[in-house]
Chains A and B, each alone.
Chain A
Amino acid sequence: MKTRFKFLRQNKILIISFLFLNFIPSIAYAESEGSHSEPDYIALLFVFMLATFIGLGVVTRVSRLLHTPLMSLTNAISAIAVVGSLILTGLDHPDYITILGAIALFASMTNIVSGFLITDRMLKMFKSKESKKS
């Protein structure tokens, strides 16, 4: 258990500040509720910067054995674009926008489904000596 939470301890400040940055502007934005207002791009850039550092930190510790599953996993994760495509498809827009959105939604959904399934399939194959005997 100790090693599992080492990561949290090492990156405490990063994680806390990251969560705050995620949180504060979103509340502020919810208060103003003006849909035409400029997005708070400074906060977005902050989030991007911190997320990149966390990503670099986490990925350098990934076992070298698992680089192929890592790639298919991050693939599925970046298919979070599904969120954008969902909104684009769902809202009442002209037809051609809906179609573009639906294609994007299809592409992201494919990535999510195949990405997670194949990652799990590959990871199941990695067996240690002990688990083989049992």
Chain B
Amino acid sequence: MIYSIIQFAYIIATALFIFSLHWMKDPKTARHGVFAGIAAMTVAIVSTILEPGIVNWEWISVAIVLGFIVGVPLSKVPLTAVPQRTALSHAFGGLAAGLVGTAKYYLWLETPQDLTVFRMVAIIAEIILGFLTFTGSLMAAGKLQEIKWIPQRPVTYRGQNIINLSLLGIAVIGGIAVILNPVEYTFIFPIIIILALLFGVLLVIPIGGADMPTVISLLNSYAGLSAVAMGFVLDNKLLVTAGALDGSSGLILSIIMCKAMNRSFTNVLFGAFGQVQTAKAGVETRSVKQETSEGAAQILEQASKVVIVPGYGMAVAQAQYRIRELYDLLTKQGADVKFAIHPVAGRMPGHMNVLLAEAKIPYEQLIEMDDINSDMPQVDVVIVVGANDVVNPAARSDKTSPIYGMPIIDADKAKMCFAIKRSMNPGFAGIENELYFADRTFMLFGDAKAVIGELVKELSASQAS
């Protein structure tokens, strides 16, 4: 009887989870999604506690209280740190799956008839996915947080891919051995765990900052799949569905990210970016045109259509509130101000949208790359703030460029372009940006926050007079 009640509760929770994701289709309904998710989670937890035979209440309450103590501060991080937090929670998800799989294996060793082939396959999949997600996500979080002893730059060495793949191969072969003979080959089990932990680290080490959106999405998918495997182990359909929802969401996001960079999964994971460019010869030092903030403000005053292209540099300089002031001033003078969002701008999918929303810019003004490019020739002024590769026209024209074929925001097609940049140092991939040398481009050198602050000052002074 109690079993049927629990299963019914799980069905309700499953339906609520699906609605939760469904409501994310529109910012207007999105908060219903969170409430549906919380309701589903509550139903699931409460009905699980009904399970007969639960005795260790002190352990349960301590773990739950600790979860709250750590969880609440983690939800209060500044929005620029959201990618790290997300990577960290993927790590927690992977850890939970890995530990449950391990515990179940040792538990069932006492009654070996329980270790059926199906369960063993699920356990091995769970621990490999879980533990590699754990260390991989920890590495990603460390890189994003810029912790000192974790190298930010992609780390590569000879035979890297062969070493990585053979590690995974050994883990899988060991896994097969344990699956076929779970009782005799017990000693292999910890070895698989160690190999999975190691593989997670090695998988993320060669990945640089601009590939982080893809890697985070991919780890999201792995965390979901490890929850699915846990569902197989525990014969729990709620776990399987919730994990599958998470896994497919991660998969879709990774596909979107890869398409936005015109690269394949294997290329992101096995071809460290930024290495390709070392042989680039700086044959000619071309000159760029510089503009002062007064001049730029005068031009902006006349503009009726303005597009702002934000990039990770905007987040680093914390310039979003200044941009908001600029947006207000330009809107007041009657200009149409839009924001062009490239899918891979920032360090995780949708990063720029959240930062701009935090600065209270209405979400109707945030336009996807594909929707804004056709309007570009009519735009009077494009302001590039901390974006680089996503506006590089070389992606369209220069077949030798490593970013050739990547879809970009056509900032060069606008009537005029201002690029705010600290110096002429090329961006993360070391690729020269053709846009800066174009006839209609003017550079505004300086910290993004300071430069936009000056623009705001000039504009508001002239509007007041």
Contact = CB atoms under 8 A, between A and B. Distances in A.
A127 B20 contact: no
A63 B246 CA distance: 16
Interface string A72-89: 111111111111111111
B242 A80 contact: yes
Contact of B25 (A41, A61, A78): A61
Interface in A15-61: 15, 19, 22-23, 26-27, 29-30, 33, 36, 38-41, 43-44, 47-48, 51-52, 54-56, 58-61
* Chain B, interface residues (CB within 8 Å), range: 35 or more
B22 interface: yes
Contacts of B95: 103-104, 107
A69 B22 CA distance: 13
Given A38-B116, A54-B245, A64-B350, A92 B55 contact: yes
Contact of A128 (B11, B111, B119, B364): B364
A93 B109 CA distance: 13
By size class, the interface of chain A is 35 or more
A91 B233 CA distance: 16
Contact of A39 (B18, B82, B223, B235): B235
A97 B55 CA distance: 14
A113 B69 CA distance: 9
A24 B62 CA distance: 36
Contacts of B343: 64
B358 interface: yes
B106 A97 contact: yes
Interface in A98-134: 98-129, 132
B31 A124 contact: yes
B107 interface: yes
Nearest to B68: A113
Contacts of B192: none
A113 B239 contact: no
B100 interface: yes
B67 A59 contact: no
Interface of B: 3-4, 7, 10-11, 13-15, 17-18, 20-22, 24-31, 33-34, 37-38, 40-41, 44-45, 48-49, 51, 53-57, 59-60, 62-64, 66-68, 70-72, 74-77, 79, 82, 85-86, 89-90, 92-93, 95-97, 99-100, 102-104, 106-107, 111, 113-114, 116, 118-119, 216-217, 220, 223-224, 227-228, 230-253, 256, 341, 343, 348-351, 353-354, 357-358, 360, 362-364, 366, 368
17 contacts: A4-B29, A7-B22, A22-B14, A44-B232, A52-B244, A52-B247, A55-B247, A64-B353, A73-B34, A77-B37, A81-B97, A84-B230, A84-B231, A85-B63, A91-B54, A104-B103, A109-B66
Interface of A: 4, 7, 15, 19, 22-23, 26-27, 29-30, 33, 36, 38-41, 43-44, 47-48, 51-52, 54-56, 58-93, 96-129, 132
Given A107-B92, A126-B357, 4 more contacts: A63-B30, A80-B238, A90-B57, A100-B103
